[in-house]
């Protein structure tokens, strides 16, 4: 587990998250500081439309300032990690490249030396598995 600090309108809040997600969040923060973000974190959705990451600057108010909300966000993160474990290695890799890194299926295919339809199928299958996990 690792500590991750996000900033509400009124104050910084530090929560404990899995090291995997802390690394992803820190990398996104670095991209944002450098001004190289491909997509907003609010563009990344999981089944049900809730935000995948904890970027409160894109929401009105300080909805995670309440400790119960922060606990719920951590629980969601843990559920998402469990859902990702249901995927094959390629499904997980291509899904995260698509949804977190913002690469299109064509970009992933080109980078990985794969056929675009294969990548699209793997991303779609991963998305369906994650949606069914949360239903």
**Are 126 and 105 in contact, with CB atoms under 8 Å apart?**
no
Question: For the chain, what is the mean pLDDT?
Answer: 75
Does this model's pTM top 0.85? My answer is no
pLDDT at 106: 95
Q: Which residues pair with 51 in a beta bridge?
A: 45
Of the candidates 58, 130, 133, the residue with the CA atom closest to the CA atom of residue 96: 130
Name the strand (E) or helix (H) holding 38: none
Cα gap 114→111, rounded to integer Å:
8
94 HSE (CA, 13 A, CB side): 29
Domain boundaries, the chain: 1-85, 88-135
Cα gap 38→48, rounded to integer Å:
23
pLDDT in tens, 40-50: 443 443 333 33
């Amino acid at each position: 587990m690792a500590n991750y600090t996000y900033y509400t309108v009124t104050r910084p809040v530090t929560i404990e998250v899995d090291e995997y997600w802390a690394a992803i969040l820190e990398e996104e923060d670095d991209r944002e500081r450098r001004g190289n973000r491909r997509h907003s974190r609010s563009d990344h959705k999981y089944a049900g439309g809730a935000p995948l990451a904890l970027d409160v600057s894109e929401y009105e108010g300080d909805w995670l300032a309440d400790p119960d909300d922060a606990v719920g966000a951590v629980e969601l993160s843990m559920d998402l990690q469990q859902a990702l474990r249901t995927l094959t290695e390629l499904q997980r890799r291509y899904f995260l490249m698509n949804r977190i890194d913002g690469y299109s299926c064509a970009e992933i295919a080109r980078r990985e030396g794969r056929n675009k339809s294969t990548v699209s199928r793997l991303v779609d299958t991963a998305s369906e598995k994650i949606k069914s996990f949360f239903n």
